[in-house]
Structure formats: structure tokens, C-alpha cells
């Protein structure tokens, strides 16, 4: 296929945008924020940092991080998450192109469902599943493999993320975008991404160009 | 200037220069070359910097000056040329692309002029480097590129219609070739390939571009 032909095909294909949640849509990391309330932020920060930098697998670290928070009432956690500050321009993009956008996060369904509803993504997200008994979080039922989401779509996939657990998601997508507007992009992403943005408005405009192409 | 995407190619290793850093980060009279170029592009909305070798260092430096830059990644920089970098960066571009290599310093007045251009042109300069790509010119037009003969040196600076520019893995002038003949503009600039080029550039900047 020539360059021109491949460009033509991209133009007529439907586009799907797959957004990471923490520090991509949100203005801060979600779990460290909650851990502050119970004075576990030091432990949490360390685990989050190790995962971001790729020193610990997401699966291992997420299990440990959920353990720190699992005694908190589910309702309280989901309320805090629903009120976390957001990158409003990116949220605007989600709402303007609802049919083309999905959130892909390692976070737990029972914790993020209120936030998803608040931003209008209640039917457009993929996440990890919690094991809940009698309204209490027992543990993790299933941790999402972010990259598996890409296979669910025949469309042209554009993925946006910031951490090392987004690496495979970005790699498998047709376009991988690193976003360093909230915190530094994980080095593992810089090895594979197609674009990097550090300004939310600029990213918003670029995504707008992609959807129109 | 809203009709232009400016593409600065900073992906390569700058082997001939021999420092273990991207050439765009080399300081000329106390300021990195990439910053000198960015300072002339304050009015440009769509600036794209192509990164590859030590991408994080280039990103850090650019971000210290402005954050609203689009970074385009050329991961295969060891096997391809600046043409590949430009080909990647011209996707989803505005009406025109203006290409600039990361290892040059342009006279500020000339940059102002080319930012106001809205017809395609090829930037040339008087022959100054050791292994130049030359331009064959006639009646104000560039007719071809050559290693052997020509009246001017190709600069890597060119303004092209982004829909007409032809992608390549090689050099930027290979993207220009199918579009010839094109107008040329004589530019005052210094390209830095060798230590000698570097000294010449430093003196030029220190001497107020004279």
C-alpha cells in the first residue's frame, strides 16, 4: 500500500480514542489522594512511583495499593474519586465525541463508577473488577490488561496515557500519545509513543484534528 | 502565520560533530541552538519538534522555553534521515509546512521574512560546509540538487504545501525534488556539522550576525 492509499484509508475509518484515567483525565493520581485521608500516603506514593517508573509490575503494585485502601467504605472512596479535579479540556473532548471515546483504567469498577457517570462515560469505560461481599471490598477479581481493549475495536485506535502501564496500550494502538500535562511521562512511554504533549489545550486541538481527518 | 506548521528536526545523533548529545542542545554563545530557533517562533501556534536520540533531553530543554509544542517521535533515527522525521511530522499539518534542521542558526530577520511567506520556496545559502548538497538554479528557480555542481547550498529550510510534499525515508531535499522547479530564497544561516562550523557560528552570533 502506498503512503497516499494508507492515508486515504485512515481518513475514512472511524476513530476510537482510548484515554487513561489517572493523571491523564484527572489532575492528580487517585489512589495517593485517598491514602492521604488515612495517613498511608507515604506507602502509597512509593508504590505509585515504582509502578510509574516501571520498577514494579502494575499487577503487583495495584494489589498492594488496593490492600492499603480496602478497609475504607466503598461509598466514601467512590465519592472522593467523583470529586477529584479533572483536566477540563480533555473532559470536554470526551463529551463532544462521546461515541468515539473510552476510558481505559486499571482502577476498580466500584471506585470509579460515580466519576464515570459524572463525566458521561458510564457506558464507555474499561477497568479492573473488584471482589465485593456485603458491601465490603475483599480484593481484586480481575485486573484489566489495557492492551486487550485495543483488540475489541476494528476502528483506528488512538491511545492517550502517561504511565508505564499504558505502554502496551499505546504500542498496540494505531497512534500512541504520551501526555505529560500532570506529571512527567514515564520513560517507558517515550520509547514507543508517536507523539508527546505537555499542554492540555494543545493536545485537545490535536485530537480535534485527528477526528476531523 | 496561522497557516503554517513549523517542523524542527532534532532526532539525529550528530555523529560528525562528535559530542554525545543531540546537536540541537549544543550551546552557541551560552544558549542551546533549539532555544535560539524557538525564540524566533513565538508567533507560531503549531510548532513540532521531532525527537529520537536522547528524546527526553530535547523535550526537557524545549519545555523549559514553551510547553505548547507537539513532540513527534522518530524512533528509527539511526536508520533514516531528516526526511523521515519531516514525513512523520507533516501528518495532520496546516496548509504549509516549514522545515528547519535542529543544527542550524538562522538570521532573525530572515526567519521573520520566511514566516510571512505563503508560497512554496527552497531555502539556499552561499556554499559554506565541507560536504554540501548543492542546488542547480536558473532564473530564480531551483531546478535540481547535486553533490557535484550548483551555485548555492541547500539549507534544509523549505516551505511546502503539506498536501503536495512527498514522504521519504531519506533527506528532506528528496521531498522537494518531485515538486521542482520551485522559487528559492537566499538565507543567512549557519549549519553546524563540524567543530570548525561551530566556531564560525559562535563568532557570527557574537558579532550580531555579521
The structural domains of chain B, ordered by start, are: 4-206 (3.90.550.10)
Whole-number pLDDT of residue B177: 95
| A197 vs B55, B56, B70: nearest CB | B70
- B194 to chain A, any CB pair closer than 8 A? The answer is no
Whole-number pLDDT of residue B129: 81
Residue of chain A whose Cα is closest to the Cα of B85: A194
Domains of chain A, by residue range, sit at 3-212
Alpha helices in chain B (DSSP H): 33-39, 55-65, 82-89, 108-115, 172-176, 195-206
Q: Tell me which chain B residues have a C-beta less than 8 angstroms from the C-beta of A199.
A: 67-69
Query: What average pLDDT is seen over chain B?
Result: 95
CA of A125, closest CA in chain B: separation in Å?
A: 27
| B71 vs A7, A195, A209: nearest CB | A195
Q: Tell me which chain A residues have a C-beta less than 8 angstroms from the C-beta of B63.
A: 198
**Closest Cα to residue B48, out of B28, B31, B66, B25?**
B66
Q: Tell me which chain A residues have a C-beta less than 8 angstroms from the C-beta of B73.
A: 190, 193-196
Mean pLDDT of B172-199: 94
| B73 vs A194, A198, A209: nearest CB | A194
For chain B, percent of residues with pLDDT exceeding 90: 89
pLDDT of B109 strictly over 80: yes
Cα–Cα distance, A81 to A27 (Å, whole number): 11
Cα–Cα distance, A51 to A165 (Å, whole number): 8
Whole-number pLDDT of residue A213: 77
pLDDT of B1 strictly over 80: no
Q: Tell me which chain B residues have a C-beta less than 8 angstroms from the C-beta of A3.
A: 167
ipTM of the complex, rounded to two decimals:
0.95
B positions 109-138 inside 8 Å of A (CB) = none
Per-residue confidence at B182, pLDDT binned at 50, 70, 90? very high
Mean pLDDT of B135-145: 95
Per-residue confidence at B17, pLDDT binned at 50, 70, 90? confident
Whole-number pLDDT of residue B128: 84
Mean pLDDT of A111-134: 96
Per-residue confidence at B80, pLDDT binned at 50, 70, 90? very high
pTM exceeds 0.90, yes or no:
yes
- B56 to chain A, any CB pair closer than 8 A? The answer is yes
Q: Which helix (H) or strand (E) holds B106?
A: strand B104-106
Whole-number pLDDT of residue A11: 63
Q: Tell me which chain B residues have a C-beta less than 8 angstroms from the C-beta of A196.
A: 59, 71, 73
Mean pLDDT of A63-69: 93
Pick among B46, B47, B59 to test the A interface (most A CBs inside 10 A) = B59
Interchain pair A190, B73: CB under 8 A = yes
A56-60, A198-202, B51-55, B119-123 — which is least confidently predicted?
A: A56-60
Tell me, which fold does domain A3-212 have in CATH?
Rossmann fold (3.40.50)
Mean pLDDT of B109-135: 94
| A209 vs B72, B88, B92: nearest CB | B92
Q: What is the 3-state secondary structure (H, E, C) of chain A?
A: CCHHHHHHHHHHCCEEEEECCCCCCECCCHHHHHHHHCCCHHHHHHHHHHHHCCCCCHHHHHHHHHHHHCCCCHHHHHHHHHCCCECHHHHHHHHHCHHHEEEEEEEEHHHHHHHHHHCCCCCCEEEEEEEEECCEEEEEEECCCHHHHHHCCCCEEEEEECCHHHHHHHHHCCEEEEECCCCCCCHHHHCCCCEEECCHHHHHHHHHHHHHC
| B73 vs A7, A187, A193: nearest CB | A193
Q: Tell me which chain B residues have a C-beta less than 8 angstroms from the C-beta of A190.
A: 55-56, 59, 73
| B92 vs A190, A191, A213: nearest CB | A213
Residue of chain A whose Cα is closest to the Cα of B45: A202
Interchain pair B72, A210: CB under 8 A = no
What are the pLDDT digits (tens) for B39-78?
Answer: 999 999 999 999 999 999 999 999 999 999 999 999 999 9
Interchain pair B67, A206: CB under 8 A = no
Whole-number pLDDT of residue B163: 93
Query: What average pLDDT is seen over chain A?
Result: 92
Cα–Cα distance, A136 to A151 (Å, whole number): 33
What are the pLDDT digits (tens) for A67-105?
Answer: 999 999 999 999 999 999 999 999 999 999 999 999 999
What are the pLDDT digits (tens) for A126-171?
Answer: 999 999 998 889 999 999 999 999 999 999 999 999 999 999 999 9
For chain B, percent of residues with pLDDT exceeding 70: 100
Does residue A25 or residue B16 have the better pLDDT? Answer: A25
Measure the CA dihedral A28/A30/A31/A37, to 10°: 80
CA of A120, closest CA in chain B: separation in Å?
A: 28
Amino acid at each position: 500500500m502506498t503512503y497516499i492509499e494508507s492515508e486515504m484509508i485512515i481518513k475514512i475509518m472511524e476513530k476510537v480514542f482510548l484515554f487513561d484515567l489517572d493523571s491523564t483525565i484527572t489532575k492528580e493520581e487517585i489512589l495517593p489522594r485517598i491514602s492521604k485521608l488515612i495517613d498511608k500516603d507515604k506507602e502509597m506514593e512509593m508504590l505509585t512511583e515504582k509502578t510509574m517508573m516501571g520498577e514494579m509490575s502494575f499487577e503487583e503494585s495495584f494489589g498492594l495499593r488496593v490492600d492499603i485502601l480496602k478497609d475504607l467504605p466503598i461509598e466514601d472512596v467512590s465519592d472522593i474519586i467523583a470529586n477529584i479535579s479533572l483536566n477540563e479540556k480533555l473532559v470536554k473532548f470526551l463529551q463532544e465525541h462521546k461515541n468515539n471515546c473510552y476510558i481505559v483504567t486499571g482502577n476498580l469498577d466500584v471506585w470509579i463508577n460515580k466519576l464515570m457517570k459524572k463525566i458521561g462515560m458510564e457506558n464507555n469505560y474499561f477497568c479492573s473488577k473488584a471482589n465485593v461481599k456485603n458491601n465490603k471490598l475483599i480484593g481484586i477479581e480481575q485486573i484489566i490488561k489495557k492492551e486487550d481493549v485495543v483488540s475489541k475495536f476494528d476502528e483506528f485506535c488512538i491511545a492517550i496515557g502517561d504511565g508505564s502501564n499504558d505502554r502496551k496500550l499505546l504500542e498496540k494502538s494505531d497512534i500512541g500519545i504520551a501526555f505529560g500535562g500532570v506529571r512527567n511521562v514515564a520513560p517507558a512511554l517515550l520509547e514507543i509513543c508517536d507523539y508527546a504533549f505537555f499542554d492540555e489545550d494543545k493536545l485537545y486541538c490535536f485530537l480535534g484534528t485527528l477526528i476531523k481527518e | 502565520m496561522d497557516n503554517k506548521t513549523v517542523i524542527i528536526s532534532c532526532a539525529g545523533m550528530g555523529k560528525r560533530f562528535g559530542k554525545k548529545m543531540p546537536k540541537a542542545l549544543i550551546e552557541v554563545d551560552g544558549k542551546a541552538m533549539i532555544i535560539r530557533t524557538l525564540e524566533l517562533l513565538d508567533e507560531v501556534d503549531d510548532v513540532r519538534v521531532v525527537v529520537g536520540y536522547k528524546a527526553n533531553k530535547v523535550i526537557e530543554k524545549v519545555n523549559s522555553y514553551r510547553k505548547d509544542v507537539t513532540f513527534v517521535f522518530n524512533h528509527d533515527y539511526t536508520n533514516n534521515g531528516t526526511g523521515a522525521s519531516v514525513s512523520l511530522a507533516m501528518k495532520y499539518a496546516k496548509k504549509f509546512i516549514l522545515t528547519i534542521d535542529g543544527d542550524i542558526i538562522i538570521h532573525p530577520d530572515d526567519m521573520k521574512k520566511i514566516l510571512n511567506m505563503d508560497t512554496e520556496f527552497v531555502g539556499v545559502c552561499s556554499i559554506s560546509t565541507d560536504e554540501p548538497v548543492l542546488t542547480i538554479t536558473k532564473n530564480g528557480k531551483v531546478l535540481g540538487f547535486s553533490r557535484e555542481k550548483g551555485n548555492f547550498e541547500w539549507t534544509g529550510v523549505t516551505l511546502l504545501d503539506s498536501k503536495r510534499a512527498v514522504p521519504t525515508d531519506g533527506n528532506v531535499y528528496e521531498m522537494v525534488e518531485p515538486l521542482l522547479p520551485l522559487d528559492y530564497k537566499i538565507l543567512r544561516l549557519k549549519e553546524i556539522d563540524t567543530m570548525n562550523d561551530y566556531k564560525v557560528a559562535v563568532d557570527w552570533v557574537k558579532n550580531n550576525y555579521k
